[in-house]
Amino acid sequence: MSLFKQLLIAICLFMVVAFAGSFVVSLESSRAQYVNQLRSHAQDAATSLALSLTSNIDDPAMVELMVASIFDSGYYASIRVVDLASGNALVERSATPDNQGVPQWFINAIGLEPAGGEAIVSRGWQQTARVEVVSHPMFALAKLWQSALGSLGWLLVCGVVSAILGAMLLRRQLKPLDYMVAQSQAIGRREFLVLPELPRTPELRRVVQAMNQMVEKLKALFQESTERSEKLRIESYQDSLTGLSNRRYFDMQLKMHVSNPEEELAGHLLLLRVQDLAGLNLRLGGKRTDSLLVAVAHLLVSHCEKYPKIRHLISRSRGGEFAVLAPGMGREETLELVEDIENALKDLGATGVSDISPVAHMGLAAYMPGEATLTLLGLADQALSLAETQGEQTWSYAENGAVVSAGDDQHTWHRVLDQALIEGGFKLFFQPVVRTSDITRVMHYKVLSRLVDEQGQAIPAGRFLPWIERFGWSSRLDLWMLRNVLSDLRQHDRSLALNLSAATLADAQALEEIFDLLRQHAKLGPRLTFEIGEEQLPEQSVLEQLTRRLQAHGFSLALQRFGGRFSMIGNLAHLGLAYLKIDGSYIRSIDEESHKRLFIEAVQRAAHSIDLPLIAERVETEGERQVIAEMGIEGVQGQLVGDPTPWE
């Protein structure tokens, strides 16, 4: 029972006890007073009647008349005139008055007995008769009953008024407690609320101050952990001059996006080299040369900004060498990007961004998921070397024969994918996500899609997703996946996680269709979590609205491939995310590379401070699992614990 109800009930009980005590005291006082009044009433009547009968005691008719007149004029139970010589009653009148609406239980509870009085009738000096008068208490009981009803009515009025005023007062006084409950719940949602107005009640004021101090302390600890983790990330994976990622981060991303044939996308690798960097240092000086490199970095960022998947995959390898990894980008898009960068480099000095236009060449190489990273780097280096020996064109393109096949043309993919979306030519695959401490305990299954070709073979998503995105059909695929996942959930009790693409998040109509489906299957909410890639996150306001709508229907949201933008965790803290999946590039070989371990430990401390579970992606070796288990990461996903497979 809440404190508000307890205090309100206590007030009501106090009113009842106060009324009962007051009523009992008043009743006893009134009862004693009425007993005296009844006795006095009976004695006065007896004395008056005796005096009246003194001169008429020998006239029986007159005696009876006088007794009748007295009896009829008041509340008497009986009046008797007794002859003293014989002991016989000369005249006797008695009656039982009406109870006047007084209930019998009240009469029995009061216990007010009749009171009597006596007087002697004399004839001269001789006593001849005795008058006995007994007063009936009914009139006193009627008065007591009316008094009790009046007291009860007054109590009810006072009780109702007191309850209303007390409830208003208690609600106002206890409002800080409600806010403190909201503070505690907000901490569970990774929010840090502070009560701005302190209550006037000293006891509550101290409690609220202590709660505010605790929240501020937690917020400071979380902010400190976030800043420490971001600092470690910058020191380990960011180039200090240009602000781009460094060679270490580039190698991590290259391994993750290229070496996995199951989930990653085909794409391109672009290498850019500013020529004669040593000569520029001698001729221009270190400061101007550094400014030139910064200008080239800003140029790459500005031209890659319109491609969400690659804007965080731009690196400065060393010196004047830059690299851009472009997963999911087709040949036409990539060539268009290269030509834009080539023109921008030529105009760099004219635009005023830099005081000179650098001589730079670019090498472009296509790759397929599962290709060896050294092979891809060698191919890109060959293209770069060829570009340096060419004439006016400053870039060169290289590709393996396996990159483009007859089945990869646009018209074929358009027909195949459109038919698959209409007829259901995709198949659901499920990859387990298990507890780090016990890989036999499954937390949930990640849902992946595979395209089934004419021979019945499952084509990995990396082959067809770039075409899905190019045709603008990502929302169609997401809706197909969701319908089939909801149907699948009704057949078992497992928990699933399903990805939402950036195109779907930006499509209002597609989102409404998704929420219509979720409303119809709200009972499945606790077993389905939606995941969004870190590189696909929308604006903060849009993300908050999406989270609230999902939670309103009982579903939850999580973030995958997290780590490249760790500074944004402060904005995500209050969204109530189900978990964070750490980007596999930070997990790969973590048992051998200490810089990754330091960074993940900092991330774990920050996430633990706000009770946010972490899951490691792309765990492939037992050594990696043991390291992340030591760091307290709750779950693992990867080839070590199971490849994506359909249900048996």
pLDDT at residue 406, as a whole number: 34
- List the chain residues with pLDDT less than 50: 351-353, 401-408
- The β-bridge relationship of strands 496-499 and 442-452 is parallel
Would you state the pLDDT for residue 485? 95
Contacts of 391 (CB under 8 A, 6+ apart): none
Q: Provide the pLDDT for residue 477.
A: 94
CA distances from 107 to 22, 100, 145, 494, 562 (A): 19, 11, 9, 72, 83
Q: What is the pLDDT of residues 353-363, one digit of tens each?
A: 455 567 788 99
Residues with Cβ within 8 Å of residue 93, at least 6 apart in sequence: 67, 68, 71, 76, 78, 79, 80
pLDDT computed for residue 530 by the predictor: 96
Residue length of the chain? 648
C-alpha distances (whole Å) from 256 to each of 231, 265, 268, 371 are 23, 11, 14, 11
* Three-class SS state of 570: helix
pLDDT the model gives residue 17:
82
- Residue 525 has a pLDDT of 92
User: Rounded to whole angstroms, what are the CA distances from 640 to 371, 433, 478?
Assistant: 20, 10, 27
pLDDT at residue number 473:
92
Phi, psi of 392 (to 5 degrees): -75, -35
Rounded Cα distance, 590 and 320, in Å: 29
Q: What is the distance between the alpha carbons of residues 10 and 163, in angstroms, rounded to a whole number?
A: 10
Nearest to 162 by CA among 19, 1, 25: 19
Which helix (H) or strand (E) element contains residue 445? strand 442-452
pTM of the predicted model as reported, rounded to 2 decimal places: 0.64
* Cα–Cα distance for residue pair 336/342, rounded to 1 Å: 10
What is the distance between the alpha carbons of residues 497 and 561, in angstroms, rounded to a whole number?
14
Domains, the chain, in order of start with CATH, read 3-160 (3.30.110.200), 238-398 (3.30.70.270), 406-637 (3.20.20.450)
Q: Left (φ > 0), alpha (ψ -120 to 50) or beta: where does 500 sit?
A: beta
Which pLDDT score is estimated for 528?
Answer: 95
398 has which bridge partners? 365
Q: Distance (Å, rounded) from C-alpha 603 to C-alpha 92?
A: 107
CA 630 vs. chain centroid, Å, equals 29
Identify the pLDDT of residue 404. 40
Q: What is the pLDDT of residue 550?
A: 92
